[in-house]
Amino acid sequence: MKFLDEARVYLKSGRGGHGCLSFRREKYIEFGGPNGGDGGKGGDVIAEAVEGLNTLIDFRYRQHIRADNGRPGEGANRTGANGADAVFQVPIGTQILDEEGEEVIADLTYAGDRVVLLKGGNGGFGNAHYKSSTNRAPRRADNGWPGEEMRVTLRLKLIADVGLVGLPNAGKSTFLSAVSRASPRIADYPFTTLHPSLGIVEQDGKRFVVADIPGLIEGAHEGVGLGTRFLGHIERCRALFHLVDGTAEDPAGNYRTVRAELEAYGAGLEEKVEIVGLNKADAMSEEEIAERRAALIEASGREVVVLSGVSGRGVPEALRILRRAVEAERPKPGQEAEPWRP
């Protein structure tokens, strides 16, 4: 399934049904009187977050969403039926913004979240509504109120516990495929990952979700490379796993490059819990590992885990650290999160 994280959709709620102008005409009733019923209400347009979706690809082919109109009223005081609501389903983590994509209208972050984006028009009154002691035969019936319409931008921000960050070819996709059943594309050239991937990791009987996003390069916050298009997918992550290619010429410099881009992007990414991993240990000698790990500790100011997604070295230890970080940042109801320490 093709990944799509942004779509523009036209929405229109239903028009209210017209009121009915009618009078009773039974043969043996001398003064029949008005009996025109009211029109039905137009359908609303509702967005609902559901599980099982992780892309907005459906809205590439469904760009117009319309609710049904209300039915008109009828004689014998029969009220018209209400129009059916138009409920469209979106993945968990979808933001609904205005047409320009600037103002957030709704943020659906939990399964079952629903928001009424447009209300249907009210039905018009039939002439029976206007009957009174001084107006015994009203000849007034109202038209239904028109529905509302708008264009919105849907923007998906994947909800994951851990976000993988790093330069292109740092081994993020290999790590994700090694610890989960995800099957991201893996190759030996930059920007192999063109769209985010999600994987469910099981460690010590616990589960957490890991998101792999395309690699960052210097100037990404200004749109260089794939830019910041996919950084929004890790805004909701509880922790970041920063993978650094240990076979690069300057692993510490590469770490500083990505870290600078996270800080330039903002949105709280620089404040998230970060675990640093020196990857591709299978392609380095023990002396090289010790030297580059020491340089990375100095650059990051935190402990560094050595691992290899290919050979599996250090992967279980890295997963335990990630699981502990996720659990510390995901407190139970009524409890405060304790400061996380590796």
Secondary structure string (H, E, C) spanning the chain:
CCCCCEEEEEEECCCCCCCCCCECCCCCCCCCCECCCCCCCCCCEEEEEECCCCCCCHHHHCCEEECCCCCCCECCCECCCCCCCEEEEEECCEEEECCCCCCEEEEECCCCCEEEEECCCCCCCCHHHHCCCCCCCCCCCCCCCCCCEEEEEEEECCCCCEEEECCCCCCHHHHHHHHCCCCCCCCCCCCCCCCCEEEEEEECCEEEEEEECCCCCCCHHHCCCCCCCCHHHHCCCCEEEEEEECCCCCHHHHHHHHHHHHHHHCCCHHHCEEEEEEECHHHCCHHHHHHHHHHHHHHHCCCEEECCCCCCCCHHHHHHHHHHHHHHHCCCCCCCCCCCCC
Full pLDDT tens readout for the chain, 342 residues: 456 778 999 999 999 999 999 998 877 777 788 999 999 999 999 999 998 887 888 898 889 999 999 999 999 999 999 999 999 999 888 999 998 888 999 999 888 999 999 999 999 999 999 999 899 889 999 999 999 999 999 988 877 788 888 888 888 888 888 888 766 655 554 555 556 777 888 877 788 888 887 766 665 545 555 556 677 777 878 889 999 998 888 889 989 988 888 888 777 888 888 899 999 999 899 999 999 999 999 998 888 999 998 888 999 999 999 888 888 876 554 444 444 444
13 labelled binding-site residue: no
206 labelled binding-site residue: no
195 labelled binding-site residue: yes
Q: How far apart are CA 289 and CA 276, in angstroms?
A: 14
Q: How high is the pLDDT of residue 339?
A: 44
331 labelled binding-site residue: no
34 labelled binding-site residue: no
167 labelled binding-site residue: yes
308 labelled binding-site residue: yes
CA dihedral 51, 54, 60, 62 (to 10 degrees): 0
Domain ranges within the chain, ordered by starting residue: 1-156, 162-329
Q: How high is the pLDDT of residue 334?
A: 47
2 labelled binding-site residue: no
CA dihedral 294, 295, 301, 303 (to 10 degrees): -40
285 labelled binding-site residue: no
310 labelled binding-site residue: yes
Q: How far apart are CA 217 and CA 61, in angstroms?
A: 33
Q: How high is the pLDDT of residue 57?
A: 85
281 labelled binding-site residue: yes
User: In 10 A of CB 133, how many CB atoms?
Assistant: 5
Backbone angles phi, psi at 117, to 5 degrees: -85, -40
173 labelled binding-site residue: yes
* Token pair 């909701």 in the structure block, residue: 236
54 labelled binding-site residue: no
69 labelled binding-site residue: no
18 labelled binding-site residue: no
282 labelled binding-site residue: yes
Q: How far apart are CA 127 and CA 119, in angstroms?
A: 25
Q: How high is the pLDDT of residue 100?
A: 86
Q: How high is the pLDDT of residue 219?
A: 54
225 labelled binding-site residue: no
Q: CA geometry: angle at 208 spanning 205 and 212, to 5°?
A: 140
Residue range 162-329 in CATH 3.30.460.80: no
What's the full length of the chain, in residues? 342
Q: How high is the pLDDT of residue 167?
A: 85
Q: How high is the pLDDT of residue 261?
A: 82
Q: CA geometry: angle at 32 spanning 30 and 37, to 5°?
A: 175
Backbone angles phi, psi at 64, to 5 degrees: -130, 125
Q: 1-156 has which CATH code?
A: 2.70.210.12
168 labelled binding-site residue: yes
Q: How high is the pLDDT of residue 199?
A: 81
User: Distance between alpha carbon 165 and the CA centroid of its chain, in Å?
Assistant: 19
CB-CB contact of 34 with 129 (8 Å): no
